[in-house]
Amino acid sequence: MSGHGHGHAEEHPKGGYVKNVARTLEHDFIEKLFVPAIAVGLGVTIRHFFRNLLFKERYTQTIEYPDVKPAYPARFRGMHRLVPRDDGKPRCVACFMCQTACPANCIHIEAGETPDGSIEKFPLVFKIDELRCVVCGLCVEACPCDAIRMDTGFHPPPVQTRAEADVGRNDLLSFFGRDELPAQERSAAHPPPTAGGLGRIDRTEGDLGAGGSRGGF
Chain positions contacting another protein, by CB under 8 A: 35, 38, 41-42, 44-46, 48-49, 52-53, 58-62, 64
Percent helix, strand, coil in the chain (nearest 5)? 25, 15, 60
Nearer to another protein, 40 or 74 (CB): 40
What gap in Å lies between CA 165 and CA 197, rounded to an integer?
A: 9
Least distance CB 124 / another protein (angstroms) = 44
Least distance CB 62 / another protein (angstroms) = 5
What gap in Å lies between CA 167 and CA 197, rounded to an integer?
A: 11
Nearer to another protein, 27 or 162 (CB): 27
Least distance CB 37 / another protein (angstroms) = 10
Nearer to another protein, 17 or 49 (CB): 49
Beta strands in 100-211 (DSSP E): 107-113, 121-129, 148-149, 166-167
Half-sphere exposure of 17 (CA within 13 A, CB side): 7
Least distance CB 22 / another protein (angstroms) = 22
